[in-house]
A and B are shown apart, each in its own frame.
Chain A
Amino acid sequence: MSGTHTSGGVVWLGSPAFPEAARSAVADTRLRTNLRKATGTIRDKRVAAAAELDDWEELRTAAAAIKRATLRHLDHHLLRLEESVTAVGGTVHWAADAAEANRIVTRLVRATGETEVVKVKSMATQEIGLNEALAAAGITAYETDLAELIVQLDDDRPSHILVPAIHRGRAEIREIFRERMGEWGKPAPEGLTDDPRQLAEAARSHLREKFLNTKVAVSGANFAAADTGTVAVVESEGNGRMCLTLPETLITVMGIEKVLPSFADLEVFLQLLPRSSTGERMNPYTSMWTGTVPGDGPRAFHLVLLDNGRTATLRDTVGRQTLGCIRCSACLNVCPVYERTGGHAYGSPYPGPIGAVLTPQLAGVERAASLPFASTLCGACYDACPVKIDIPEVLVHLRARAVDAARGGSLPTPESLAMKAAALTLATPRRLSFAQRAGALGSRLLARRGVLRRLPGPLHRWSDTRDTPAPPRETFRAWWRRTRPENQ
């Protein structure tokens, strides 16, 4: 058995700040090629799928309204969900943080006497580092989503919410299967090529053994309806359906923000989610279960409701909209930054624009201070978001929180000094004019034929790849004063 990462969690320990991590990602030719291909394809599919619905904008508005209204009375809906799930034979557990959730799941698995679990792809269990916690307790978790399997076999980390192995091409996947599958179970067949069909067949055959022999499954949840106690998982491969129906015990870990007031609300979200995430009209498998049914499916169902920073996020009136996220990953696919760095640079299972706003809120801004700045604020994410999360608004809000948190420090940063100096300069037209004259004079001394090739100090980060025009001798303001003395 290969080792697993010991650094699960909202923030991966030891991850460098975003700009540093991005530097090596941007220089990785293979990664850039894989990302460009994958995000480009999925981007076009999403636009086409959304354009098919006349009421797409109304659906987005409805989804945003449902999510915001639900979050306002989250306590009420959660208690109702507990009541409904309990009434249909399930057991509800409450976890304040990752450690508590991991303890609950470990205890539930141990109580079955089993030492292996199959897993449906789940962001919540990535967030709490469940696989690592189970491994520490002597329990092996098998990922059954194809891309999660690739990541697990390679002892790697996910780099996309929907397509965790988006950073891998098929030739790399073939190598991973050939080298690692045997350590986890049925090895890859002899003569495996990088033909996608062969790769899928190898995974299917490897996983079938797990599905048929494992008595406990762990899943996440896309939605849970408070009125009926129904839990829903949306997926493409059928591995989820296997895990949700074959084992004797099912343990679902769900973020508390996933609750919907009513089963009828699914009408909106099941239209938005597949079109936004894979660009499909409908995903191949939508599994819904309502407690337990004798003789059909798992005999025991446990629902673990996970807080892990969500209540704190809810307190922030601007930031709380982030909790409306349905994990479709449309924002990742349209993000020009994500397209060039991939997910690992974000240092969290939640990458891309949504990760840049979610991770700092779940883990604390001070533990992910570079993430709110990992965006040009171009706004493509907001346009793509099916629940209309104003990600740029939350980004600048979190930037202000990061800056304000640093204001208390003993030494001002060079950036904060520069910002203060700029504010003083811009405070009056007279100071601005003075600074403009001084700046223009200095720049012209450095310029050759009106162009600055190298800028001093930290500005080299700009001038390393860009020329800069020297400011002209006369500002607009001075020109106006000189030419229009009558109109002052």
Chain B
Amino acid sequence: MRIALFITCFNDTMYPNTGKAVTTLLERLGHTVHFPQAQTCCGQMHFNTGYRREALPLVRRFAEAFAAYDAVVTPSGSCAGMVREHHGTLARQSGDADLMAAIGNLAPKVYELSELLVDVLGVTDVGAYFPHRVTYHPTCHSLRMLRVGDRPLQLLRAVKGIDLVELPEADSCCGFGGTFALKNPDVSSAMLADKVANVTQTRAEVLCAGDNSCLMHIGGGLGRLRTGVGTLHLAEILAGTEGDPR
């Protein structure tokens, strides 16, 4: 199976360790990871903010960059959701039949990391080791757009040494919402405050999620208040082993 990594522009720039962790993890499971150099961005920020005209060339580029692979994995629920749920919308609006066909073929093969591991590769115990107290925030798009359900928790429960604690009001949005955080900073901060309070209540050392954008938001609040709670993407917890701990 030819697996391509869609790193996302955000992880590429801000969280390269997440991409390295996905690569390490998949290679440990015996797979070859490809990184198509032509990739840039799925266009989610433009689409969600109303700039569809600007998003369309990014959809085109995505379709070309990943056409040749059997599966595309991305360490982001919201970017996977953008491709699966909205690339088709933009392609249809453009009236370009070739693009519509390309997206129609490609979109179902795009997986968020936990989906690829559990559904496609059929693995929940990835041989990881992480001897820390962890709480997990299910990000909105992974939960309600992709419907990943408890797949990330299945993966975390199988991690050796982990002390996994439940996050109160876990499925409440953290208040990030992309440009929402800039357009509605007061409401966003109010939501963040409640999320931060719920995280600290768990006494976890690390907050884990499948989207670094949400983690940067919650982590930004945890850091500003000097809570000492860290954030880690699911991939980075799953990548650690007893021989190579994180």
By a beta-carbon cutoff of 8 Å, the part of chain A in contact with chain B is: 18-19, 22-23, 26-27, 32, 336-337, 340-341, 370, 372-380, 382-383, 396, 399-404, 415-416, 419-420, 422-423, 426-429, 432, 436, 439-440, 451, 458-459, 461-462, 464-469, 471-472, 474-477, 479-480, 484, 487-488
Contacts and interface: CB of A to CB of B under 8 A. Distances in A.
Interface in B126-164: 140-141, 143-145
Given A376-B173, A419-B51, A429 B180 contact: no
A401 B183 CA distance: 17
A18 B184 contact: yes
Interface stretch (B4-12, B97-105, B109-117, B238-246): B4-12
Interface string B82-115: 0000100000000000000000000000000000
A426 B40 CA distance: 6
B58 A488 contact: no
B137 to A, nearest CB: 12
B182 interface: yes
B181 A462 contact: yes
A378 B182 contact: no
A432 B9 contact: yes
Contacts of A426: 9, 40-41, 43, 58
A423 B7 contact: no
Interface size class for chain B? 35 or more
A323 B10 CA distance: 37
7 contacts: A337-B187, A341-B187, A373-B184, A400-B52, A403-B50, A403-B51, A464-B185
A281 B16 CA distance: 51
A383 B54 CA distance: 29
Nearest to A396: B48
B191 A340 contact: yes
A95 B41 CA distance: 49
B221 A465 contact: yes
B204 interface: no
Nearest to B220: A466
B198 interface: no
Contact of B177 (A22, A375, A403, A477): A375
A372 B13 CA distance: 29
B19 interface: yes
Interface in B48-66: 48-55, 57-58, 61
A420 B12 contact: no
A419 B140 contact: no
Contacts of B38: 429
B20 interface: yes
Contacts of A475: 12-13, 16
B46 A422 contact: yes
Contacts of A32: 190
Contacts of A22: 184, 186-187
**Residue among B171, B190, B223 with most chain A CB within 10 A:** B190
Contacts of A383: 144
Nearest to B23: A480
B45 interface: yes
A376 B180 contact: yes
B223 A467 contact: yes
Contacts of B47: 396
Leading 7 A-B pairs by shortest Cβ distance = A376-B177, A466-B220, A399-B50, A403-B50, A379-B144, A378-B173, A467-B223
Contact of A26 (B19, B177, B187, B223): B187
B175 A19 contact: no
* Chain A facing B: main interface SS: helix
A401 B186 CA distance: 25
A476 B58 contact: no
Interface of B: 7, 9, 11-14, 16-20, 34-35, 37-41, 43, 45-55, 57-58, 61, 86, 140-141, 143-145, 171-173, 175-192, 216-217, 219-221, 223-224
A471 B14 contact: yes
Contacts of B144: 378-380, 382-383
Contacts of B45: 419, 422
A465 B140 contact: no
B177 A377 contact: yes
Contacts of B192: 465-466
Contacts of B86: 396
Contacts of B46: 419, 422-423
A420 B54 contact: yes
B61 to A, nearest CB: 8
**Residue among A439, A468, A488 with most chain B CB within 10 A:** A468
A376 B175 contact: yes
A64 to B, nearest CB: 17
A459 B182 contact: yes
Contact of B50 (A396, A466, A479, A480): A396
Given A402-B50, A422-B46, A427 B182 contact: no
**Residue among A402, A427, A461, A465 with most chain B CB within 10 A:** A465
Contact of B13 (A341, A416, A439, A464): A439
Nearest to B19: A476
A466 B140 contact: no
Contacts of B190: 26, 32, 340
Contacts of B217: 466
Contacts of B48: 377, 396, 399
B170 to A, nearest CB: 13
A440 to B, nearest CB: 8
Nearest to A483: B20
Contact of A468 (B13, B52, B58, B216): B216
B49 A419 contact: yes
A477 to B, nearest CB: 5
Nearest to A460: B185
Contacts of B49: 399, 403, 415, 419
A451 B189 CA distance: 19
B141 A379 contact: yes
**Residue among A374, A380, A477 with most chain B CB within 10 A:** A477
A415 B178 CA distance: 14
B35 A374 contact: no
